[in-house]
Amino acid sequence: MISNDFSYLKDYGQIGVFLLFGLFFASFSLFLAWLLRTRNNDPLFPTTYECGSEPIGSSFVQMNVRFYLFALLFVIFDVETLFIYPWAVAYKSLGIIGFFEMVIFIAILFIGLIYAWRKSALKWEQ
Cβ atoms of 11 and 86 within 8 Å: the answer is yes
- CA-to-CA distance for 35 and 22, rounded, in angstroms? 20
Q: Where are the chain's structural domains?
A: 9-118
Beta bridge pairs of residue 53: 50
Cβ atoms of 98 and 87 within 8 Å: the answer is yes
pLDDT digits (tens, 9 = 90+) for 64-112: 878 888 888 889 888 888 888 888 888 888 889 889 999 999 999 999 8
pLDDT digits (tens, 9 = 90+) for 22-79: 999 999 999 999 999 877 777 766 666 667 666 666 666 777 878 888 888 889 888 8
Flag whether the pTM goes above 0.85. Answer: no
The CATH number given to 9-118 is 1.20.58
